[in-house]
Amino acid sequence: MARTDKASDTTAVIDIRQITKTYQMGEMKLQVLRGIDLLVGRGEFISIMGPSGSGKSTLMNILGALDQPTSGQYLLDGVDVSKMSENELARVRNKKIGFVFQSFNLLKRTEALRQVELPLMYGGASGAARSRRAKAALEAVGLGARLNHLPSELSGGQQQRVAIARALVTEPSVILADEPTGNLDSRSGTEVMQIFQRLNRQQKITTVFVTHDPWIARHTDRVLMLRDGKVVADQRVKNPLVAGAVERPSEAEELQGVFEEAYYGGKREEYT
Ligand code: ADP
Ligand code: MG
């Protein structure tokens, strides 16, 4: 088989083995990740769930090469990044990883097109090529008509779509999104999920997604559950929901479902 630049399709995009992370807090040591193993194949769409403080963001920062593990190995596209220097990591981040944050992290006074061009500055593409690629990325998230808008001229959902375009534009190996719908109302959240699903299904973009919302997680293909820095479950979603196809049940309906069969003694007929 001919050698290519890209790792072959059978190489896992993410392969972490026995990753730990310990923070030193003065005299105290806080072990936040306690031996995590995770394989994510090319084209997978996976969500990471778990209670607040269980280590989701710490894990995402390691996956995103924003932070190094205390021990363990991390192969990204078959390349060991767990012992790289800060400079090497910056290069890996730019080339291989697209990050989407809960709080969008856009520059306040910068138009959408320019925001999306910025990650391409590093690679040395010409000005014309940068703006062509940035425009294509914005079109892919449905913002082709908003190229010259500032963040303040866009809704929250649209701002998050600019951030997704910025993550996409370098054609990374994986998109990492830490609670990307956390700051959005449910309609904008659905729109953002539609985009992640479309990118994953049509362009086979590998996506790792943190959410604490089970409804959002049901739109992905696999759920990894963390608790106290360990993986407590790793399961495929049976029938992933198609974003926007089914209305989310209201809280009242969900509560109804919970309470329906609860009777405090006696039979159902005895209650009115
Ligand atoms: P999650 O995203 O699941 O809510 P985090 O990964 O943010 O959890 O945090 C896990 C634990 O690690 C928490 O107890 C948090 O306080 C602690 N933690 C996170 N970052 C640091 C840090 N830079 N220094 C010390 N402790 C940290
Ligand atoms: Mg977090």
Mean pLDDT per 10-residue section of the chain, whose length is 272 residues: 52 95 94 97 96 96 94 95 90 94 94 96 86 97 97 96 96 95 92 94 95 91 96 94 86 65 67 65
Ligand number nearest to the C-alpha of 51: 1
In a 10 Å sphere around its CB, with 0-12 CB exposed, 13-18 middle and 19+ buried, how is residue 229 labelled?
Answer: buried
For residue 59, how far is its CA from the centre of ligand 1 (angstroms)?
A: 10
What pLDDT score was predicted for residue 272?
65
Phi and psi at 167, nearest 5°, equal -70, -30
Chain length of the chain: 272
Q: 15 in a domain, yes or no?
A: no
Check residue 246 and give its pLDDT: 82
Domain that holds residue 220: 44-65+85-242
30 CB within 6 A, ligand 1: yes
pLDDT of residue 2: 42
In a domain, 158, yes or no: yes
> Does a structural domain hold residue 249?
no
- Sign of the Cα torsion 130, 113, 181, 31 reads positive
Residue 190 located in a structural domain: yes
From the list 46, 45, 44, 41, the residue with the least C-alpha distance to 8 is 41
**CATH number of the domain that residue 208 is part of:** 3.40.50.300
In a domain, 20, yes or no: no
Count structural domains, the chain.
1
- The reply to whether 178 falls in a domain is yes
Q: State the closest ligand 1 atom to the C-alpha of 50, by its place in the atom list counted from 1.
A: 3
Say if 232 falls within a structural domain: yes
Q: What is the pLDDT of residue 5?
A: 46
Q: Ligand 1 centre from 54 Cα, in Å?
A: 8
Q: Is the CB of 220 under 6 A from ligand 1?
A: no
Which of 20, 23, 54, 213 to mutate to test ligand 1, by most ligand atoms within 8 A of the CB atom?
23
Whole-model pTM above 0.75?
Answer: yes
Within a domain: 111:
yes
